[in-house]
Chains A and B, each alone.
Chain A
């Protein structure tokens, strides 16, 4: 997030898009409720009538994958009415003319045709957002998990810059990170092209710095992303895969295909706390420990680094994950000799400028938000306060592109996927929690009453859902909260794994798969 969680309360307008906030980030929804109480206006743009839409001043249900068109339409109105922040644009941004030329092509009437959102709603959103003192954008996977995910995010940034809603309390473009430490895993260099702190492996200064600190020659060619790893397993260029605490068989798109790729691995090792669907395929399984059995830190969506503390002894023979990694490294001839996670954090701080001032002692109390470059620095609540990090904010003129897969005669329904309030990710933790499992023991498919009637199904009836990649069965849940023509399932349940259906087509830049849109057919199951 560019801003902080608490800071959401300062907003006069909150635009929520592609985030089912009350289910996936309930404690951020809390801040939205508080802001609303203080008089903020809430705009929700989501293909489903999600729970937070109940308090919205304007709620629009754009067709799946039409976000860029909708956002361009909103900017069209803003420019037409002269509601842009000319001073902010002139002083802190570049590329404005190109943006202006592009969004000119998106008058509300055209956008209505693409998105299905009435022109006057587009005008209202433009007015509420642009005329607010401080407007905040909250978005999540509904924006990023598309073949146009990067374009979607750029469009949100365009909208914020156009109206000067950046770098002040109550503003910002705020991604809500899905998993608890996805921010930290990126910050720490769990990516093929960067070391910790986003220092490029291909940059010779950075590479030399790490090489000398670690006393090793380091490869400088960026490595493979997950989709490339799967392709490598299939063509034999990748022979071995080591998985630390993830479950790609459940979580990756076109799951059947992923399963087949993993079967080709000459060697598959999985380090996890449960025998996940992926671990079941492994040659070796190494039992690590849960968050409650370890010391360390997590970094949340507002860049706040916070302590995780060991509350209980590990179960059975399960071992600290950092010790397992260290013991493997020793056996591979690269000795590591840390005595505790705290000692690892000292090295992180030494090599990672944005974590430079972080120590366990300083994390007592409220933690620290990075960038925190030195031991005196109080941490950073709001990014881009004086200037945008890269110097000038660059507008990106973005054209609307339809999703990779479209409905047709054979697959006439749109399918979208997401979380429900009681489960998390592939379910390995929540489904082993009796209270949570009792609350929702199976996956449902949400469907509009009109369509349900056509298919002759009612709530609880089993439905077979078929895409170009596979098929699953789920119980129907008939609800008006979803548009006719579209159905929704959650992705937590192995018995009805949504990702058997989803499309592995990815965004060309970020390689994020299009989880949020694919085409399916439906039939009542016997």
Chain B
């Protein structure tokens, strides 16, 4: 029996409610609102209460995919990363860095967004980065 409650922040709206995710033997079994959160004080909305439900859904992507003959087929990480990098490099060398564009994410963490813009600006060499801030 391995049972843990891990305090985290909701992935849905901009309120940013805090709750515990219940992990029983590696499965997420529930969500418990954090009573001492300055944001939600022990309350949640329907999305927050069910925030654990999609995490282990059988619809999740579990392996990298590459399009072959029109279909997306599973491949190894090495292959997917090599392919992605080589496509980005060849477009960059043929048409310059500004022929590439990148969408950051309002659902990703601060650290991921920061790293992503660093990669785009310093690694690729373009400022073509934007995200759905306007939605």
Contact = CB atoms under 8 A, between A and B. Distances in A.
A180 B48 CA distance: 12
A34 to B, nearest CB: 10
Interface in A383-438: 421-425, 429-430, 432-436
Given A219-B97, A225-B130, A284-B65, A179 B113 contact: no
A460 B71 CA distance: 37
A311 interface: yes
A139 interface: no
Given A217-B125, A229-B130, A316 B62 contact: yes
A241 B102 contact: yes
A348 B111 contact: yes
A280 B67 CA distance: 10
Nearest to B123: A334
Contacts of B54: 290, 429-430, 432-433
B108 A185 contact: yes
B17 to A, nearest CB: 6
Contacts of B67: 282-284
Interface in B68-113: 72, 77, 80-89, 91, 94-95, 97-113
A367 B37 CA distance: 10
A334 B109 contact: no
Report which residue of A233, A246, A510 has the largest number of chain B beta carbons within 10 angstroms of its beta carbon.
A246
Interface residues of B, number: 99
B116 A190 contact: yes
B61 interface: yes
B66 to A, nearest CB: 5
A240 B100 contact: yes
B118 interface: yes
Contact of B111 (A6, A274, A331, A345): A345
Contacts of A193: 127
A181 B107 contact: yes
Contacts of A325: 112, 115-116, 119
Contact of A331 (B18, B27, B82, B132): B82
A239 B53 contact: no
A236 to B, nearest CB: 9
Interface in B114-135: 114-119, 121-135
Nearest to A344: B111
Given A190-B113, A285-B61, A6 B38 contact: yes
A324 B40 CA distance: 33
| Count class of interface residues, chain A | 35 or more
B1 interface: no
Nearest to A439: B46
A301 B82 CA distance: 38
Contact of A181 (B51, B77, B110): B110
B61 to A, nearest CB: 4
A190 B121 CA distance: 11
A196 B43 contact: no
A111 B67 CA distance: 56
A322 B101 contact: no
Given A309-B8, A313-B26, A436 B103 contact: no
B125 A226 contact: no
Interface in A290-339: 290-294, 296-302, 304-313, 315-319, 321-322, 324-329, 331-334, 336, 338
A218 B56 CA distance: 40
CB-based closest 3 A-B pairs: A316-B62, A300-B16, A296-B109
Given A240-B88, A328-B119, A429-B11, 14 more contacts: A190-B105, A191-B130, A192-B127, A274-B57, A274-B59, A282-B72, A292-B11, A300-B14, A305-B110, A313-B26, A315-B60, A317-B77, A344-B114, A422-B46
18 contacts: A182-B133, A185-B105, A192-B128, A193-B127, A216-B125, A223-B128, A239-B91, A245-B105, A269-B87, A297-B111, A301-B15, A327-B81, A328-B81, A329-B123, A332-B123, A341-B112, A430-B54, A435-B46
Interface of B: 4, 6-18, 21, 23, 26-28, 37-40, 43-47, 49-57, 59-67, 72, 77, 80-89, 91, 94-95, 97-119, 121-135
